[in-house]
Amino acid sequence: MTATALLPVFALMTSLTAAVIIFALPEQKHRLRTFVNLTAAILKLLLVGLMIRGVFQGKAYGIAFPMIPGVEFVLRADALAMLFAGLSAALWLLTTVYSVGYLENSPNRSRFFGFFSLCVASTLGIALAGNLFTFFLFYEMLTLSTYPLVVHRGTEQALRAGRTYIIYTLAGGAVLLFGIASLHVLSGDLPFRPGGHFADMAPDLQMPLTIVFVVLIAGLGVKAAIVPLHGWLPVAMVAPAPVSALLHAVAVVKAGAFGIVRVVFEIYGLETAGALGLLSGLAAIAAFTILYGSVMALYQSDLKRRLAFSTVSQVSYIILGLCLAGPVGVAGGLVHLVHQGVMKITLFFCAGNYAETLGLHRIDELDGAGRRMPGTSVAFTLAAFGMIGTPPLAGFITKWTMGTGALAAGMDWVIAVLVVSSLLNAAYFLPVLRRIWFGEQKDPWREERQWGRSETSAWLLWPPLVTAGFLLLAGLLASAPFSPLGWVELIITREVNL
Amino acid sequence: MTPFLLYALAGAALCSIGLFGFILISHLLRKLLAFNLMGSGVFLVMVGLAQHRSGPDPVPQALVLTGIVVAIAATALAVVLIRRYYHLSGKTSLEDPAQNPPPAPGPRQAREAPHE
Amino acid sequence: MTRVLAILTVTAVCFAFLSGLVYSIWQIGATTTPVDLPALLAGNLDDSGVENPVTAVLLNFRSYDTLLEIGVLVIAGIAGISVAKTSSLEDPELRTSDELLYALQRWLVPLTLLLAGYLLWAGSDRPGGAFQAGAVLAASGVLMRLGGIPMDFLRPGLMLRLGLSLGFSVFLLVAVASALSGSRFLAYPPEMARTLIVAIETVLTLSIAMVLLALFVSAPINNAEEPEEGGS
Amino acid sequence: MTLWLMAGLLFTPLAWAVLTLLTGFRRGRAITWLGIVIQVLVSLALWAVVAAEGGFQYPLGGWQAPLGIELRMDGLAVTFVLLTALVAAASGLHAGFYLDPDKDWHRYFWPLFWFLWAGLNVVWLGNDLFNLYVGLELISLAAVGLVALGGQSEALRAAIRYLMAALLGSLAYLLGVALFYGQFGSLSLSGIASALNQDIAVEGSGFALILMFFGLALKTALFPMHRWLPPAHGIARSPVSALLSALVVKGSFYIAARLWLELGATLGSLALAQLLGVLGGMAVFWGGWQAFRHSKLKQVVAYSSVAQIGYLFLLFPLTWNTTEAVIIQAQQAMTLQVISHALAKAAMFLSAGNLILSVGSNRLNALAGVSHFLPFSLFSFGLAGVSLMGLPPTGGFAAKWLFLQASLATGQWWWLVVLLGGGLLSAAYVFRVYRASFVEDSDIDHFFHPSRRLEIIPMILALLSLGLGLMAEPVLSVMALAFANGEGT
């Protein structure tokens, strides 16, 4: 057992061990729990950082052992894995900081942080999974560990949301399992392989492979919130803000999108998927989801619900990017995995701050919030402009790259989708910004809490500011080697074989 | 065709009669009697069939002896249980009690209700 | 109406069962067995230590079955006394006291005891054996019980439990001793086979009688009050 | 060495039954713990022996098979022996703390417990049809005694019903044995299997096999013969329920599986195989649905057993008339399902007992707020639930996966509906329990705290069933020795 085998395991163990310790700690040991949590998060960030450097230098990390006859448990750190792992490790640290502030003085924190750590461990597992089976293992673990977070408040509404969530995700999981089992019968173990496991497809497999592809996408599409499988996402926003942030930015929806990426690139291979005519169908669904999510967002008066529909729309950018099937378009899709995460988590942090500090949930209550909470509002504004796609922010990089890719692929209609979607984004974000900055405060704040001279608790304020900084940097330094875009180009040259 | 085969066939008939009673009768003691009838049928089949084929065979006879002891043990246990059940509930059959259970109490009532 | 329907259905089921069984017996009766067990048994009878083949099967060739069978009987006994009244198995109210019955029993009980002893002894070379003897012994106990002779030894104390388990324990001890002495579990040394079998039969007789009697007299009353988990 | 181990395995439970019968509850408990240690060690040692050297036959009393009784110790048997040792040890330890030592009738728990254990070992090792019958009766009567122990009229009702079903099942089985003996003149299972290869007329034996399957299915509570199970398992004390659900129903199923694997190819038929499979599938749905509807915690768990047992019966259609590889796969799936269900269900019943002890009620909605106060037991319950749902990485998932593979490989796609739908249905009833525990009802703040010892035992079982999915390969490699050696001899 060498360091290369152990590093992914250690990275996984940081969050798992943290979860176990937190579950074992008595409820009232808040400081100790926070310490454990933050230590684990920092440690994990370091380990993942180490692996990112190693992968950049061309090292391979991984471990594999047989689980069930015919099936291996494989952890492997490749460049694509590190894209997701890095995102999840970085955002875990920030979300932990934020949650400590957000849940101050609320009950059941032991349970919350325990499952939170489990959830992050599953996310890392999803990133590092080296075959479809291992991926599924962590994918289902994610479902289970997020349920207690969604129903955390224990209200009737939360319980109902939890039920919707679990019905959707477990049914999706069952469909996915069916797809994976069928593929296993067709070809044995299913390692993720650059260029695709089915790159040299036997002609008699065409029909079954097409069917299985549809099944797999249907299974993964539930978590990726592809229309019409998105119903759980807007409902699940009753969860506490850090949970929503995590669900929307890294954990659940990204797990679905990441799974689709793995299936398209490394199980089927872009060429095979294209040859079977699967990509155009997927592209159409993704485009529809983008537009549908944006339109629905327009009609929401609750801030978090509007953000939720915005997620439905934005995640499909990733999928649309894949379907462009060219190096540039794919880069646009993949980089959005990170960009959307950073932007969306900023927005949810800010929404949580408004709710927690001033008691504001609805958009029409936000009048004048900018003067009361300038730091939060600046972060919110940056993220919103990023979503719209304003240069030089992260979202602009995504859309520009994708647009270029669409031209290269000869799919001009995608550009139209991008433009319309950007206009819709502007239509649902700009009114919010107008209220925040230019609206006159009419009523007193609903439940204002004071933190001395600061606008809100430092635990709550800093995470959104940091993520806002990220999204600015990701846009400005997009051509640097370790920027998300730079890393994605590394992935494409190394692993996608375009 | 030997007379022993006739024993086996008679055993089959006993089994059927016992089965009929076992399914249809709800009085527990009579049900138990039906079970014993069935048991005797099985033992007859066991000894008769073997004897018909290869002459007197001590193995099935020994098996039947064991079987009888087991059947007696089971019957005795059943009688004890049935007597005690009758003593406690005054019933001689297993008909379902109330088909319509009372509406479920809320969490507090459920916890504070005394044990039955 | 439903009753008639039920009877008809059950009748149909029983007829189907009967015809299947009869067909099966008929078919089997027309063939010959691939293994001739009686001949094999006759060939090995001399090594078993007893002359009666049934007893040989019960207590030597298939002694494991018999050991477990006594176990089943003990279980029934345990389950029986576990639901019995705690102080005494005997219910004085159920005892009759009739002079004539009592007098007759003074004649009868010794006779039945003798009969039981004979059956036990006969078991080694002709039909008979522990179970038959035990049953007769138990029957005489039942008569005593009905005739009003007090049987205070039947309280669920140590004595009763000892009695219940006596035959089983001795049987088991022999089995273990045979295993510890180097041969296999339940393998009797040939020269001692007969002695051991007779010893086992004797204690078994006592135990079987005890179990049957305990089950007969255990009154269905106790003050056990278990809160039921399955209730509400 | 092996002889000593075998003697230990067969003799300890019987001897301990006698010893504990002669003592009271507390001393019986101490003696039992010693016995548990011995049994677990012996089982582990035997497992190691079989893993290293393969299975073996063990003629009792030195008499070879058709005349005497031979035991078969192969990989599958030893796996189940070890499983029994683990689950029974856990239940026994739990019962030692759970049962009230001051109630006089609880002393009888120990002898019955040991007889039950002895009976299970008889069944796992049995290779003689009549010996298996005696083993079955040993198990049934001990189980009925445990259900009735000190019970009120409801418990007695359940016990009587259970006894009646068990007796009918045993008789049907015994009738089948009688016909088999008439046909083959032998009671040894492997002897009959080898006689079948000699191409003799066996027309009468098909009915015998059906009779035996009927009896065994009744004892295993296969739908629609399951009605006796939920009352009995629901009303017994929790350690007893754990034993019954985890092990006792598996005993009769195990015999059916052995019969099928040895004789099914000749005596079985496609219709019988599919019928058993279909009934299993219906059990999955009906049991799951009933579990979903019930408002009492232990009834939910008991109905879930009905559903989980249904999966086991997929063994029959998946091993009928197919390739050796698929047969092995289906057997592995069945073994994993038995093990993981045993561990998970025992964990579930034991933790359900703790929860009931804590809130003082068996009703589901009384669990409101319990997630603050008893997260440990709730967590065990949850982990066990994950295994029942068949989600990775649990043993339940591994079993489901192998069943899926076997179904797809034989083209019997209709079992997919059962496997996937059943998983969702079990998720539905497990999440109902979670949901009840997450309800915030701040009025309730008095909870009885069971001791840590009671809480740790189900946790260990639940973790084992979770880990089984990761460790399935080594477990199955030992189990596979069964069929390599068992058929050869």
Q: Which CATH class is domain B3-94?
A: mainly alpha
- Taking contacts as CB-CB distances below 8 angstroms, the residues of chain D near A155 are 440
> What pLDDT does residue D488 have?
35
Residue C21 lies in a domain: no
Chain B residues touching residue D441 (CB < 8 angstroms)? 107-108
Question: What number of C-beta contacts closer than 8 Å exist between B and C?
Answer: 134
Judged by DSSP in three states, C173 sits in: helix
**Token digits for D232?**
């009995």
Mean pLDDT of chain D: 88
Beta carbons of C72 and D138 less than 8 Å apart = yes
CA distances from D94 to A448, D61, D90, D450, D464 (A): 52, 36, 6, 11, 16
Of chain A, the percentage scoring pLDDT greater than 90 comes to 38
Asked whether D350 and D242 are in contact (CB, 8 A), the reply is yes
CA A77-A79-A80 angle, 5° bins: 95
Please give the mean pLDDT across all residues of chain A: 88
* Domain spans, chain B: 3-94
Query: Which amino acid, one-letter code, is at D325?
Result: A
Buried b / exposed e across A39-63, counting CB within 10 Å, b at 16+? ebbebbbebbeebbebbeeeeebbb
Q: Which residues of B touch D141 (CB under 8 A)?
A: 73-74, 77
Residues of A with CB under 8 A from a CB of D: 23, 27, 66-71, 73, 107-108, 110-111, 136-137, 140-141, 143-144, 147-148, 151, 153-155, 159, 162-163, 166, 170-171, 173-175, 177-178, 181-182, 184-185
Among chain C residues, the shortest Cα distance to B3 is held by C29
> Closest chain B residue to D296 measured between Cα atoms?
B104
Q: Chains with ≥3 Cβ pairs under 8 A against C?
A: B, D
Q: What does the alpha-carbon distance between residue D455 and residue D93 come to, in Å, rounded to a whole number?
A: 11
Please give the angle made by the CA atoms of B33, B39 and B41, to the nearest 5 degrees. 110
How far is Cα D262 from Cα D246, in angstroms, rounded to an integer?
A: 25
- Which residues constitute the domain of residue C152? 50-217
Region class of D172: left (phi > 0), else alpha (psi between -120 and 50), else beta:
alpha
Residues B115 and D398: their CA atoms lie apart, in Å, by 41
Contact D349, D308 (CB under 8 A): no
Whether residues D168 and B22 touch (CB distance < 8 A) is answered with yes
Q: Which portions of chain D are predicted below pLDDT 50?
A: 483-489
Q: Do D144 and B81 touch (CB under 8 A)?
A: yes
Residue C141 CA to residue C133 CA, distance in Å, equals 12
What is the per-residue pLDDT for C124?
A: 66
Task: Say whether D150 and C83 touch across the interface (CB within 8 A).
Answer: yes
Chain B: touching chains (3 or more CB pairs < 8 Å): C, D
| Model pLDDT for residues A80-112, shown as the tens digit of each residue | 899 999 999 999 899 999 998 888 878 788 888
- What's the pLDDT score for residue A29? 83
Residue of B nearest to C36 (CA): B54
Question: Could you tell me which residue, C119 or D120, shows the higher pLDDT?
Answer: D120
Average pLDDT of every residue of chain B: 81
| Whole-number pLDDT of residue B115 | 42
- The pLDDT tens digits of the residues spanning A343-356 come to 999 999 999 998 88
Q: Is residue C226 part of a domain?
A: no
Chain A residues with CB under 8 Å of D391 CB are 140-141, 143-144, 173
What residues form DSSP beta bridges with D71?
D58, D126
Residue predicted with more confidence, C85 or A162: A162
Average pLDDT over residues A254-279: 88
- Confirm or reject contact between C8 and chain B (CB < 8 A): no
**Chain C contact set for B54 (CB, 8 A):** 32-33, 36-38
With b meaning 16 or more CB within 10 Å and e meaning fewer, what string describes C212-225? Answer: bbbbbbbbbebebe
The ipTM of this complex is: 0.88
C-alpha closest to that of A339 among A363, A354, A321, A361: A321
D68 neighbourhood in chain C, CB within 8 Å: 61-62
- Cβ of residue D198 closer than 8 Å to a chain B Cβ: no
Q: Do D11 and C185 touch (CB under 8 A)?
A: yes
- Record: contact D157-B89, CB cut-off 8 A: yes
pLDDT at B114 over 50: no
Neighboring chain A residues of D421 at a CB cutoff of 8 Å: 174
Beta bridge partners of A73: A65
Q: Which of A380-394, C56-70, D73-87 has the lowest mean pLDDT?
A: C56-70
User: Whole-angstrom Cα distance, residue A332 to residue A324?
Assistant: 9
Name the one residue in this structure whose structure tokens are 């099936």. A71
Which residues of chain D neighbour B59 with C-beta distances below 8 Å?
181, 187
- What is the pLDDT at residue A6? 83
Mean pLDDT across A434-463:
82
Q: Which 361-380 residues of chain D touch chain B by CB within 8 A? A: 361, 363, 365-368
Q: What domain count does chain C have?
A: 1
Residue of D nearest to C193 (CA): D61
d(CA D457, CA B25): 44
- Average pLDDT of span B14-20: 94
Q: What residues of C are in contact with residue B55 (Cβ under 8 Å)?
A: 38
Interface of C with B in 201-220 (CB under 8 A): 208, 211-212, 215-216, 218, 220
B54, B66, B88: residue with CB nearest D185:
B54
CB-CB under 8 Å, D171 with B35? yes
Question: Hey, are the CB atoms on D141 and C31 less than 8 Å from each other?
Answer: no
CB contact under 8 A, C71 and D118: yes
The Cα of D217 is separated from the nearest Cα of chain B by a number of Å equal to 17
Most confident of A31-35, A231-235, D34-38: D34-38
3-state secondary structure of A454: strand
- Is the CB of D300 inside 8 Å of chain B's CB atoms? no
Put simply, the answer to whether A184 touches D439 (Cβ < 8 Å) is no
- In the predicted structure, residue A47 carries a pLDDT above the cut 80: yes
Strand ranges in A219-321 using DSSP code E only, listed in sequence order? none
Interface touch D438/A162, C-beta < 8 Å: yes
Instruction: State CA A371 to chain mean position distance.
Output: 31
Beta-carbon separation of D181 and B49 below 8 A: yes
- 8 Å CB contact of A108 and D392: no
Residue B115 touches chain C, beta carbons under 8 Å: yes
Candidate from A67, A144, A155 with C-beta closest to D473? A67
pLDDT of residue A498: 63
Interface test with D, best of B26, B43, B45, B63 (most D CBs within 10 A): B63
Q: Does the pLDDT value for residue B105 go beyond 70? A: no
Distance CA D275, CA D253 (A): 16
The pLDDT tens digits of the residues spanning C122-152 come to 876 666 678 888 889 888 888 887 776 766 6
Residue D301 pLDDT: 93
Q: What is the pLDDT of residue A137?
A: 92
pTM of the model: 0.91
D18 in contact with chain B, both atoms CB, cutoff 8 A = no
d(CA B53, CA D182): 7
Coil, helix or strand at residue A68: strand
pLDDT of residue B113: 46
Query: Alpha-carbon distance C86 to D147, whole Å?
Result: 19
Cα–Cα distance measured from residue A186 to residue C112, given in angstroms and rounded to the nearest whole number: 77
Kindly report the backbone phi and psi dihedral angles of residue A62, in degrees, each rounded to the nearest multiple of 5, phi listed first: 175, 160
Residues of chain B neighbouring C171 (CB-CB closer than 8 A): none
**Mean pLDDT value of segment A126-136:** 91
B41 with B15: CB under 8 angstroms? yes
